[in-house]
Each structure stands twice: as C-alpha cells, then as structure tokens.
Structure 1
Amino acid sequence: MIWIGIWLAFMSPPLNKLLDGGYSTVGEVFGWTGFVVFVLAYLVLVFRHTARRLTTPVVRGTLVFLGALAVALSLTLGPTWLVLFVYVAVSCGAVLPARQAGWSIIGSTAVMCLLALRGDQPVEAVGGLLVPALLGGFAMTGVGQLIRTTVQLKEARATVAQLAANEERLRMSRDLHDLLGHSLSLIALKSELAGRMLPDQPGRAAAQIEDIQQVSRQALKDVREAVTGYRRPTLPGELAGARTALAAAGVVADVPADCPTDGLDEDQEAALAWALREGVTNVVRHSGARNCTVTVQVRQNLDGRHYELTVRDDGDNSGGSAAPKGNGLTGMTERLEMVGGTLDTRSGKGFTLTARVPLGSGT
C-alpha cells in the first residue's frame, strides 16, 4: 500500500492547477472528471491486481485506458498533466510480467517525452518526470516480484505442512497396524480355537482364553505406550509452534529454525519442550512484550555439561508472568527436577526463563 500510494504525491501539480481555476468551465469539468477517473482506475487496477490477479485482457485494457486518458489530458490541458505518465509507468510495473513491464515502462516514458516536445519548455517538463517515471515503474516491478514470491512461499509452506501432516498420519497408521495387527489376528485365531474346544475339551479351551487375556493386555499396553509417545512434545515441534504463536500475537520473535537434540533422552527433551511451551505462553498472555528471543545451546559449568533453553522477553511482566509461585512455573520446575534439571527465572528489563538439563559425560 505504501509503494502504491506514495506516488500519489506527484498528483499535486495538476490538482493545484484545477484548484487555481486556470481553465475554462469546459476545461475544469473535463479536468476534474479525467482526474477522478484516472486516479480511481489506477488505484483499482493496482490494488485489485495485487490482492488477486486479474485476467490479461482486463489488465491490458485498463493500462491502454490509462495511457489514452493521460495523452488526452496532456494534449488538452497542458504539460502539467504529463505527470500522469508516472502513474502509467507505475501501473505497468505493478501488474505486468517483468519483461513486458520493462518495455511498457520505457514506452510510456518515451510517449511522455514526445508530448513534452510540443510544449514551450520541454527540458523542464521532462526533467522532473523522467526519473520518477522510470524509477517508479521499475521499483514497482521489484515490489510486484516480491509480493509474488511471498505468495509462492506461503503456498509452499502450506504444502509442506500438509505433506508433513499426511506423513504423520501414515506413520501413525503403520504403527497401529504393527502394534495391533498381529495381536488382533492372534486373538481372533485363539477365540475361534477356544470355541471349537469348549464342548469337548474345556480345559484346553480355558488355556486358550487365558492366552487371549494375556495378548489383549499386552496389546493395550502397547497402544498406551504408543499414544504416550505421540503426545510427548519435542523441541523442534515446540520451536515451530513458538514462532507461530509469537507471530500471531504480534511479538517479534527470534527463534532458531531447528536445534540438535543429541545427548537428550525422551524425558529430558519433553521437559524442555514443556518449558518452552509454557514460557512462550507466558510471553503471549502476560508479558506485554514486543520482542522475544529463544536460544538453545550446550554449556559447560562446574557441574558438567548442560543443555540450556532460554526464553527472554522485553515486557513489563505486569500480568504476572514473572510470579515465582505461578502454577505454570511450578509445573515446569517439577518436570525438570524429575529429569535432574533446574529452572531459573530473572526479572528486570523484561523476563528471562532458563531451563537446564544435564547431559551425559559422553555427549
């Protein structure tokens, strides 16, 4: 919006001319009508095309209309109206493909120069508009490319997220098949066998039923362990969630894209992941911060090597995120203590939360 609207500043010369009453009645009516129609067509074309791409005939037709109207106003109302060609060039840069935009910008600027030669002061008329027309047109070409690249990046991220979700569903289906397929087949087979044995061999049928009970209990245990593994948070997953949550809250986030988890067992990683989730939640809900930095690193101190997670914000913590006895901080402390870790908090200019877990001597 800034790059599109900033060029409206060049509309001041023809607007001042109209306000000064330097034209006849017919000239003023034509000038005001042409001015309003030109500005509306320019804004609608560029804004609408930026939000959702228009069809090629509509784009080209609108550009031809803007160029024709600029020519008509310049020929009838004087060289002051040559400034409209700056907007024609900007529109070409905003809505056309890069190669077509380049030639269109040069062409519209050339038409402006030719019309300026008809005036009494062609050098003055062209001198103040040549650079804005070329600069504005080619700058909008770059901005348009940036917008298209951003849209493609968002679409690519959505595709990657969908593929990741599909892969996770496939993994879960494979795990459940591996866990339950054999057990359920065995239960069905033994149930059928027990049914056949029951009339003549009740003792052997009872043994089969006991086997069925054992297999069922083991299958239930396997399913519970699998579900626990699915629910266990991971550091990479929580880092991605932290970026999303902070961005949604309008907090400028400095979060690493990934982190090594070598040397951490599942319980330690889960404890750090919970600490990260709770720390980011406090920043979003209570701190009033504008910036948040998350760091993960391996540090050496007198007690050995530790994996350290830090969440630092610049808020005032008036909402109580720094309260030492909050339920969230208490829960984090208990989780970390279960894996031999510690939790430190520090208030001052912002709030800093540091979670540490020990690493083995071999890491």
Structure 2
Amino acid sequence: MTTEDRTPGPEPRTSLGQPPRNRRELLRKLVWVGVWLVFMSSPVHDLAAGRHTPSGTAAGWLGLAVFAGVYLLLVFRNMGRPMRRSLVVGLIVVLCVLAVVLCLTLGAAWLGLFCYVSVACGAALPLRAAYWAVPATGAVMLLVGLPTDEAEARNLVLVVVLIGFAMTGVVQLVRTTVELREARATVAHLAANEERLRLARDLHDLLGHSLSLITLKSELAGRMLPGHPDKAAQQVADIEQVSRQALVDVREAVTGYRRPRLSAELAGAQVALTAAGVSAELPAEPDLAGAGEDGEAVLAWALREAVTNVVRHSGARRCVVQLLHRQTLDGPMLELSVEDDGSGGSGTIAGNGLTGLTERLEKAGGMLEAGRAGRGFRLVARVPLTP
C-alpha cells in the first residue's frame, strides 16, 4: 500500500463496535465493556447513599440509565446496520450534555461520566476529530467540576484526556492489525496467481513444442506408411518417445522442479528441425560460463519457443541458431539468436508464447527481441552474465 494521495475507500473492519462472530469474541467484548463500567461506581454509590431528594434520586437513576444506554449504543454502533457518522456525532453530544447536566445537578461524584464521553470520542470519531474532541471533553469537565470540587476535577482531568487518547491508540492498533491481515491475504493471493501463471507458461512451452513434433511425425508416418513401412515404424517409435518425454516434462513442471538444459534443448531442436525438413545450423557445444542456472533455463525456454514457431508457423527451409557472448551497455550478456528464412509473423503482435518468454527473461534480468529480419524472422534472447 502506498502513501500517495488516493480516493479514500471504506474503513477496514475492526472488532470495535462490530458484532462478535463467535462466543470467544462475545466474551472478550463483554469483558472489555465491563472494565469501563467501573467509573459508574461513584454515581451509583452517590444515589444509593440517599443524599438527594426522592425526585432527585429518581431523576438521577433515569439520567444514569439513559447515559449508559447511549454509551452502549455507541459501543455496539455497528451491530446490524452501521450508524451514520452524523448520528454517531449526535449521540456523543447527547452523552456530553447528560454528563454536564448530571454533574451540575447532582454533584462532583458524577464527574467520572466524562471518562465515558472521552472514550466514546476516541473510539467512534475519526482520528483527526478525536484529537480535538478528547481535550475538549477534558476542558468541559474542568469547567463543570472546578466550581463544585476543584481537587477532584484537577485529579480527574488527566485521566479523562489519557483514557481518550489511549482509546484512539487502541483503535489505530486494531485497524493496523486488520490492514496487515488483509495485506498478508493479498500477498498470498498474488503468490498463488504468480504460481498459476508460471504453470501456464510451462505447460504452454512444453505441450506446444511436444504436440507440434508429434503432429509433424504423425504426418510423416502417414505419408511413409504405403511405400516405406520401416521408416513409418521409426517415426511411430519417435512419436512414442516424444509423448513419453512430454508426459515426464509436464509432471516435472507441475511439481516445479524442472530446469531445462540448453544442451538438451539444442539436441531436441536438431531433431525437430530435421524432421520438419528444415536445414539446421546449431552450435555443437554451448559456452554457458557466467550464465548461471536461471540464465541457462530461460535461454532453453527461448530456444524451445523459437524452434516450435519455426516448425509450426514459418514454412522455413533454413534455420540458424547462434549462442554468443556480447558486451553491451548493460554489461556482458549471453545472447541466443534464432533466425529463419520463412514467412512467419511480423512480431508486432506477441502471442502467448512470446509474452510468457518475455516475462521469463525480465525476471532473469534479460530481454527479448523478435521481428522480421530480411526475408525471414529473427528472435534474440539475452541474459546477463556474472563474473
């Protein structure tokens, strides 16, 4: 997630103010709410002591019940349909007015109600609004409490402010935890997508090459069968060998352990091009010094894709494969070049094979070039060399 300006989305779901999803969350929420109810012990003791008139006591109990109900409504504000922000602000104002009226009419013992107002501001308001509302609650408590009990008001103001800011910290901590969990889920999802993409590339490269060779040899066997049954039998045997090897390659690709070797791909390219009637010029022994396993593997994939395209699409009569060490502006490179004299595509529109090959090379720090070259088509793949 970046910190640049962007359109704000919905706030992440936190456990504060949300319905419990299981019995454990319900117990945790009840304990959390019960801890804060300790500040109501002083008003309850004041009413139970009988220091007020019967009408004053009844009004006190009623006001305390309404205050507790509004507070609990804010705590569980998102049960069912979440409250609108304007309604939340209105309920906080009601809490503040009730606290002021009860303190002015019933005495300093009710100053603890401002702790609930501060907690409600910290939990229900946006962070910037809470930074202003919590100190304002402490200031209102001082204005109300100083005329009645100055010492109690001064002792309680720090508690009111700190408890409100502590609640904003708790809300931010829960929100950050939820965002972290969502980020982890996103990373896991992206990793799964990347693995699917890798598997799709591998299967395309493996099956495209093998099935093209099987199709080609099947056509040759069909043409040879009437006049040259022995040669047709040899082609059928080659088809069986290629199909078995393709099955092994697919299994290895699925398990993720396959690393194609360039020497093996060169030998396979020689067989495929010869079977297609294409005159092939390939390096006898590739010099892979400094390419590393990843570089060799991606060049092997490039050779397989290029030869498959020559056999299937180009109609070429000649194909030249070169493997060269070059010094470029980006440093030393190992370059694989596959050029034919056919009439293959223009290279301006990349198919699935070239797209996947480009992604492979970019991951290895290399690059791909493909396009028309003279009368034919040329594919160049480069990977960086390490000392």
TM category (shorter chain) comes to 0.5 to 0.7
Deviates more, 1:101-110 or 1:90-99: 90-99
Partner of 1:128: 155
Deviations 1:137-187 (A, max 9, x none): 111121111111111111111111111111111112122222222111211
Q: Kindly indicate whether residue 190 of structure 2 is the aligned counterpart of residue 158 of structure 1.
A: no
1:116 to 134, 140, 145: 145
Aligned-residue offset at 1:44? 3.6
Residue identity opposite 2:113 in structure 1: L
Q: Kindly indicate whether residue 188 of structure 2 is the aligned counterpart of residue 177 of structure 1.
A: no
Aligned-residue offset at 1:51? 12
Deviates more, 1:108-117 or 1:133-142: 108-117
Partner of 1:43: 72
Q: Which runs of 4+ in 1 moved over 6 A?
A: 50-53
Rg larger for? 2
The answer to whether the 8 A contact 1:190-1:212 is kept is yes
RMSD: 2.8
Residue identity opposite 1:40 in structure 2: G
Partner of 1:66: 95
The answer to whether the 8 A contact 2:103-2:111 is kept is yes
What are the ranges of 5 or more consecutive residues in structure 2 without an aligned counterpart?
A: 1-28, 259-387
Partner of 1:264: none
- If the length of structure 1 is used for normalisation, what is the TM-score? 0.56
Equivalent residues in 2 for 1:60-99 (5 A)? 60-99=89-128
Deviations 1:54-81 (A, max 9, x none): 5422321221121122123223323322
Residue identity opposite 1:41 in structure 2: V
The answer to whether the 8 A contact 1:45-1:59 is kept is yes
Distance in 2 of aligned mates of 1:45 and 1:85: 15
Partner of 1:353: none
The answer to whether the 8 A contact 2:103-2:110 is kept is yes
Closer, same or farther in 2 for the Cα pair 1:218/1:133, shift >3 Å? same
Partner of 1:146: 173
- If the length of structure 2 is used for normalisation, what is the TM-score? 0.53
The answer to whether the 8 A contact 2:115-2:159 is kept is yes
Deviations 1:197-229 (A, max 9, x none): 444554443332222111001111222333444
The answer to whether the 8 A contact 1:3-1:140 is kept is no
Partner of 1:354: none
The answer to whether the 8 A contact 2:142-2:154 is kept is no
Partner of 2:22: none
Deviations 1:224-269 (A, max 9, x none): 33344469xxxxxxxxxxxxxxxxxxxxxxxxxxxxxxxxxxxxxx
Closer, same or farther in 2 for the Cα pair 1:200/1:220, shift >3 Å? same
1:27 to 56, 62, 74: 56
Residue identity opposite 1:64 in structure 2: V
The answer to whether the 8 A contact 1:49-1:95 is kept is no
Secondary structure, counterpart of 1:7 in structure 2: helix
Q: Kindly indicate whether residue 237 of structure 2 is the aligned counterpart of residue 210 of structure 1.
A: yes
Partner of 1:234: none
Deviations 1:5-51 (A, max 9, x none): 43322211101112223333433333223222322332342354699
Q: Kindly indicate whether residue 250 of structure 2 is the aligned counterpart of residue 223 of structure 1.
A: yes
Distance in 1 of aligned mates of 2:117 and 2:257: 57
Aligned-residue offset at 1:126? 0.5
Distance in 2 of aligned mates of 1:163 and 1:64: 45
Distance in 2 of aligned mates of 1:179 and 1:51: 54
Equivalent residues in 2 for 1:274-353 (5 A)? none
Identity %: 59
Secondary structure, counterpart of 2:112 in structure 1: helix
Partner of 2:297: none
Closer, same or farther in 2 for the Cα pair 1:40/1:230, shift >3 Å? farther
Residue identity opposite 1:143 in structure 2: V
Total equivalences in the alignment: 229
Q: Kindly indicate whether residue 217 of structure 2 is the aligned counterpart of residue 190 of structure 1.
A: yes
What are the ranges of 5 or more consecutive residues in structure 1 without an aligned counterpart?
A: 232-363
Deviates more, 1:199-208 or 1:145-154: 199-208
